[in-house]
Amino acid sequence: MYRKTDKVKIVLAALMILGGILIGCYVGGYLMLYSGIVQIISGFKAGFIASDIAIGIIKCIFAGITGGLSAIIFIFPAMRILND
C-alpha cells in the first residue's frame, strides 16, 4: 500500500509531466511553428520583406527543438521525483 507522501509524489509528477507536454506543445506548436508561418505569409503580403521571412523560417526550423526542450524542463524533474 502506498503511503500518503508517495501518493502526493505521484500526483505532483503526473501534473508536472502533463504541464511539460502542454507547455512543449504551446511553445513548439503555437509560438514557434504557427507564428513562424504567419510571419512568413505576412512578409510575402507586405511586399517581400526579407527579414520577416527569414525570421519566420528560422522559427519553423527550431520549433521542434524549442518545444522539446521546454517540455524536458518539466518532464525530467518529474521523472526524478518518481524514481526517488
Please list the pLDDT of the chain residue by residue as tens digits (84 residues).
Answer: 668 788 999 999 999 999 999 999 999 999 999 999 999 999 999 988 999 999 999 999 999 999 999 999 999 999 999 998
pLDDT value, residue 67: 96
42-49: Cβ within 8 A, 24+ apart: none
Predicted local confidence at residue 29, as pLDDT: 96
Share of the chain above pLDDT 70, in %: 98
With contact defined as beta carbons under 8 Å apart, do 57 and 40 qualify? yes
Helices 4-25 and 63-83 sit at what angle, rounded to 10 degrees? Answer: 180
- Cβ-contact 9, 39 below 8 angstroms: no
